[in-house]
């Protein structure tokens, strides 16, 4: 038959042909042998072996002041944890990141006071792109029996994405925040090429499931994208200094 | 100006107008107050309060035999764990699920023998859609210093997606498997509407990042979609009976 | 003064002299520099580095059948735990011990049935000195809301010492048993030289505080000492086979 | 035989007679049914339900300054832990105790400096009986690869009892200290009636096994007893302020 005739015949044979083809395949035909995924050691209660440890209880040497670039991150280290020092402002990682998997643990003191956004407020900026509270903020807040707008409660992408659930533990207990961050990409002209996406899990509960972001976080107005490259990760000094939030066990695995 | 003229002017003003508009917005304008995410209690080392517990150490009452529908899942329960009984075949959940978040823990015995696919092999079928090893299989295998085809090693979507890393622990240690499963949807005529997606994390390490599946798992041939609705979750009785794999602490949260 | 006079004067001066003497001492005078205690590594959730591991999840190679000396301990190993097999009878360690520190974890199944001594009964014989249930038995029993004679409940030295508290967890949760065992010593003629003593802590709660034992455990009659040397440790196969008790993470440090 | 003859015969028969007597006993004869030990709940990672919690992460309200009785214990609370503040001096519990079981966790920072007694030095005074460093001190020190006199290293009863082992973890890891304290008793005239005894376990390793104390701790001179009643527990502010030791999870169960 001519080439066209062959094509038509194939189309007519439809699924039967396809199944026939598969039956003639051998198991080995669908085995792939490379590339071989790299080995990661995963000791209990420790960071995976390929992670960049951002805080292991010792010091804040992986961080610096946001407002005084190059100066130390003057939050308080004690007992294997560190605690927000409001006077010192936000802190950012010295290293810049694109997409990654991140783990952190946070602690809101048992005697926390205030309400709404004024109660145990900090934030994880998965990418800090300016000099203030700019970037993409995953909200950290005491949302245990504390009402606020739902796109501003624990686990929200601040003022952009409502969390799927409210897994807040009572203040006075350590809590975990796991994030899979897909950084946005931009074209040469600064316009958006692919949007940012985020999956986040708090205390083991999925709160954001690969949601697409519509831009950087804004306190006033709608999210907007502004082109940027690899960026530091930032922790926000938002809390009342008399009710400080603590952190420990922070690591990140670039993807 | 007339209404149309206003519209044209606004369009001409472009981004400037948009920025102007945002500056006139108030913080409250971007607050959303409902729907309120449901509260989930997250006690340490326990299933979230809204999870369906598939095994809590007591019995296999949430499961049944795959080959003998309606009959008990005759795997061996002891010490808060249960262990594959090859003679009893695969086991499936009595309940059917669409999309969900799942957690399980598995254990490959320290004296495991064999190599390649013959070493510590089981599988988590996130949806079992037939009567045998059909559905979508997330591979469970001893991949600790054990070479096999990379789309068949621990963390692969079997013969479909290579894992991002190899986080296998040494046999004789418990390991964790966390899954976010987005079930595929099908049109009335049985054709695919939206593909399945899966995110999976083993021992805390991301191995599949919201990957799209091209169909159900096939041992021979390429993955293919076959229409189905909510489906049971299945654990595979693949291992050698003298080297049985154990499981514990399994829960699922429908999304 | 003569030597005797000096002595008398010293005695008369009493405490004053003693205090005076101490004030003339230097801090260094009461420093002791040897022997240097041996270093023990204490990794989290693992046995201390100088411990003899009696079960680490792999196999029962440290144990043997009591009734068939030299034959394997045929209890069931799965999922990093092992479970009483009533048919196989008691199991004893191959190695013999005198005084030691011991740790074990035990699990009574959630669906345990029966009452009193018939509910979740096993026992830790810190020294098994005969061929049956002879030796010194620290009671293991489900004492969670289960009444029995108090010198036979969880934590008792069976029929000899009532525990200080009842720290039983609900069946279906792992429990810990920590023991400091001071073996009795005997004279050449077989008579008692120094009695046995035991301190035990269950689930972190002190239940026996260095109590002196009056002899080996007897089901009928009063405890009696019978001379013995280093002895195996024994776990009792007492439970109903349909409600088996499991164990894991057992280690001992000879003192 | 007559009754007297029977008695004489029994005496002559010695052990045989005793055994005979026991064989005639019934199992019930050696059951004791009261007093019933009180029930203690033992949730994982929490203090037993009958414990007095001295620090649960919230505040130091159970403590006060030693040097300024009645004034707050001004050590630094953050992240669920508290940290020595050398300027504020020793802290003591408001409540007084006799014999008890105690648990605490301590942390020596990873960047600890100095050597010998100048490296990570604090102390647990199981009973503080004066206004300074008086009482009975269980030594807390960084003894990880840090040589000092052995009756002054971690786990010693300071200048009185060498520990059985050195289970020090590397600085930068939390460590546990479990103590069973039997307070001394004194007669009306102030002389010693029964000496103090202590059992202590560090990181799960026995370091003092019910040792008898010869008196209160002295930096210079030999231990001496001075009569006292129930006493506060004290933590020592000995460490260099730039390398502070932290504590958490402290509870005590009066015995």
The domain that contains C133 carries what CATH number?
Answer: 2.60.120.560
* Segment holding D216, helix H or strand E: none
Contact list, B111 vs chain C (CB under 8 Å): 58-59
Q: How far are the Cα atoms of C92, C135, C182, D102 from residue C235, in angstroms, in the given order? A: 6, 11, 18, 30
Which parts of chain C sit beneath pLDDT 50? 1-3, 5-17
Q: Tell me, yes or no, whether B188 lies in a domain.
A: yes
Q: What is the pLDDT of residue B14?
A: 43
Q: Tell me, yes or no, whether D166 lies in a domain.
A: yes
Integer Cα distance of C70 and C53 in angstroms: 19
Which parts of chain B sit beneath pLDDT 50? 1-17
Cβ contacts below 8 Å, chain A against chain D, sum to 68
Q: What is the pLDDT of residue A7?
A: 43
Q: Which token pair is C180?
A: 């400091």
| Euclidean distance between the first and the last CA atom of chain C, given in angstroms as a whole number | 50
Q: What is the pLDDT of residue A238?
A: 86
CB nearest to A79's CB, from D56, D59, D81: D81
Alpha-carbon gap: D202 to the closest alpha carbon of chain A (Å): 18
Q: Tell me, yes or no, whether A240 lies in a domain.
A: yes
Give me the torsion for CA of D67, D73, D78, D82, rounded to 10°: 60
Three-state DSSP at A4 gives helix
Q: What is the mean pLDDT of residues A156-179?
A: 97
Q: What is the mean pLDDT of residues D200-212?
A: 98
Asked whether the beta carbons of A133 and A236 are under 8 A apart, the reply is yes
Integer Cα distance of A80 and A203 in angstroms: 20
Alpha-carbon gap: C137 to the closest alpha carbon of chain D (Å): 15
User: Residue B163's closest chain A neighbor by CA?
Assistant: A37
- Decide if pLDDT at A155 tops 80: yes
The DSSP line for A146-205 is ----GGGSTTSBTTTB--S-B-PPPTTSEEEEEEEEE--EE-TTS-EEE--EEEEEETTE
Cβ-Cβ contacts under 8 Å for B32 (sequence gap 6 or more): A149, A150, A151, A162
Q: Tell me, yes or no, whether C14 lies in a domain.
A: no
Q: Which token pair is A135?
A: 């970037």
Chains in contact with A, where contact means 3 or more Cβ–Cβ distances below 8 Å, are B, C, D
**Mutation target vs B (from C55, C79, C84, C172; most B CBs, 10 A cutoff):** C79
**A26 close contact with C: CB closer than 8 A:** no
Closest CA to A193 of A205, A184, A203: A184
Q: What is the pLDDT of residue D160?
A: 97
- Decide if pLDDT at D137 tops 50: yes
- Structure confidence at residue A130 as a pLDDT band (50, 70, 90): confident
Integer Cα distance of D165 and C50 in angstroms: 10
User: Residue D47's closest chain C neighbor by CA?
Assistant: C204
Integer Cα distance of C158 and C217 in angstroms: 6
The answer to whether the Cβ–Cβ distance between C81 and B82 falls below 8 Å is no
Q: Which token pair is C23?
A: 């004030």
Q: Report the mean per-residue pLDDT for chain D.
A: 91
Contact list, A247 vs chain D (CB under 8 Å): 79
- Decide if pLDDT at A71 tops 90: yes
Q: Report the mean per-residue pLDDT for chain C.
A: 91
Q: What is the pLDDT of residue B19?
A: 52
> Per-residue pLDDT tens for A175-199?
999 999 999 999 999 999 999 999 9
Q: What is the mean pLDDT of residues D98-121?
A: 95
Q: Tell me, yes or no, whether A204 lies in a domain.
A: yes
Tell the residue number behind the tokens 């000879």, with chain if given. Answer: C254
Burial classification of residue C93, based on how many CB atoms lie within 10 Å of its CB (0-12 exposed, 13-18 middle, 19 or more buried)? buried
Among residues 173-192 of chain D, which lie with CB inside 8 Å of chain C? 173, 178, 180, 182
Integer Cα distance of C152 and C117 in angstroms: 8
User: Residue D156's closest chain C neighbor by CA?
Assistant: C37
DSSP character at residue B249:
E
Asked whether the beta carbons of B93 and B251 are under 8 A apart, the reply is no
Closest CA to D253 of D110, D101, D39: D101
Q: What is the mean pLDDT of residues D134-159?
A: 97
Closest CA to B209 of B166, B188, B180: B180
Cis bond upstream, residue D74 (ω within 30): no
- Structure confidence at residue D63 as a pLDDT band (50, 70, 90): very high
Q: Tell me, yes or no, whether D15 lies in a domain.
A: no
Q: What is the pLDDT of residue B239?
A: 65
**Mutation target vs A (from D59, D79, D172; most A CBs, 10 A cutoff):** D79
Q: What is the pLDDT of residue A132?
A: 84
The answer to whether the Cβ–Cβ distance between C59 and B174 falls below 8 Å is no
Give the count of beta carbons closer than 10 Å to the beta carbon of residue B22.
15
Among residues 41-100 of chain A, which lie with CB inside 8 Å of chain D? 56-59, 76-83
Closest CA to B149 of A9, A220, A37, A208: A37
Integer Cα distance of C131 and A41 in angstroms: 47
**B35 close contact with C: CB closer than 8 A:** no
Among residues 131-170 of chain C, which lie with CB inside 8 Å of chain D? 149-153, 155, 159, 162-169
Q: What is the pLDDT of residue A131?
A: 84
Q: What is the pLDDT of residue B238?
A: 86
Q: What is the mean pLDDT of residues D103-111?
A: 95
- Structure confidence at residue A2 as a pLDDT band (50, 70, 90): very low
Q: What is the pLDDT of residue D62?
A: 98
Tell the residue number behind the tokens 């991150």, with chain if given. Answer: A73
**Mutation target vs B (from A17, A30, A47, A209; most B CBs, 10 A cutoff):** A30
Q: Tell me, yes or no, whether C62 lies in a domain.
A: yes
The answer to whether the Cβ–Cβ distance between A42 and B169 falls below 8 Å is yes
Q: Which token pair is B198?
A: 């899966």
Give the count of beta carbons closer than 10 Å to the beta carbon of residue B235.
28
Structural domain of residue D127, as residue ranges?
54-254
Give me the torsion for CA of D71, D216, C99, C254, rounded to 10°: 70
User: Residue C46's closest chain A neighbor by CA?
Assistant: A44
Q: What is the pLDDT of residue B242?
A: 64
Q: What is the pLDDT of residue B12?
A: 43
Cβ-Cβ contacts under 8 Å for B159 (sequence gap 6 or more): A30, A31, B151, B152, B217, B218, B219, B223
User: Residue D100's closest chain C neighbor by CA?
Assistant: C206
Give me the torsion for CA of C49, C55, C57, C61, rounded to 10°: 120
Q: Tell me, yes or no, whether C31 lies in a domain.
A: no
**Mutation target vs D (from A46, A57, A79, A104; most D CBs, 10 A cutoff):** A79
CB nearest to C165's CB, from D26, D37, D149: D37
- Structure confidence at residue D38 as a pLDDT band (50, 70, 90): very high
**How many domains are there within chain D?**
1
Q: What is the pLDDT of residue A23?
A: 59
User: Residue A108's closest chain D neighbor by CA?
Assistant: D79
- Decide if pLDDT at A232 tops 80: yes
Q: State the complex-level ipTM.
A: 0.90
Instruction: Kindly report the pTM of this predicted structure.
Output: 0.88
Three-state DSSP at C117 gives helix
Integer Cα distance of A32 and A46 in angstroms: 32
Q: What is the mean pLDDT of residues A223-251?
A: 91
Burial classification of residue C62, based on how many CB atoms lie within 10 Å of its CB (0-12 exposed, 13-18 middle, 19 or more buried)? buried
């Amino acid at each position: 038959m001519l080439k066209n005739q062959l094509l038509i015949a194939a189309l007519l044979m439809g699924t039967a042909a396809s199944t026939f083809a598969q039956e003639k395949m051998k198991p080995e035909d669908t085995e792939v042998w490379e590339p071989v995924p790299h080995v990661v050691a995963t000791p209990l209660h420790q960071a995976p072996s390929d992670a960049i440890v951002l805080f292991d209880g010792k010091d804040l040497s992986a961080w610096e002041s946001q407002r005084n670039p190059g100066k130390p991150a003057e939050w308080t280290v004690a007992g294997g944890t560190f605690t927000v020092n409001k006077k010192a402002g936000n802190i950012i990682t010295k290293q810049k990141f694109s997409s990654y998997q991140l783990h952190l643990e946070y602690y809101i003191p048992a005697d926390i006071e205030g309400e709404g956004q004024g109660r145990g407020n900090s934030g994880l900026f998965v990418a800090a792109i300016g000099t203030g509270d700019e970037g993409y903020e995953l909200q950290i807040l005491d949302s245990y029996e504390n009402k606020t707008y739902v796109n501003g409660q624990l686990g929200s992408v601040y003022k952009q994405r409502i969390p799927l659930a409210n897994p807040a533990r009572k203040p006075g207990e350590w809590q975990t925040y796991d994030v899979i961050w897909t950084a946005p990409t931009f074209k040469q002209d600064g316009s958006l090429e692919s949007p940012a996406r985020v999956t986040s899990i708090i205390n083991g509960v999925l709160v954001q499931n690969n949601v697409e972001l519509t831009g950087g976080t804004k306190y006033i107005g709608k999210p907007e994208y502004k082109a940027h490259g690899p960026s530091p990760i930032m922790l926000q000094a938002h809390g009342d200094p008399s009710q400080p939030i603590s952190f420990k066990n922070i690591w990140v695995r670039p993807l």
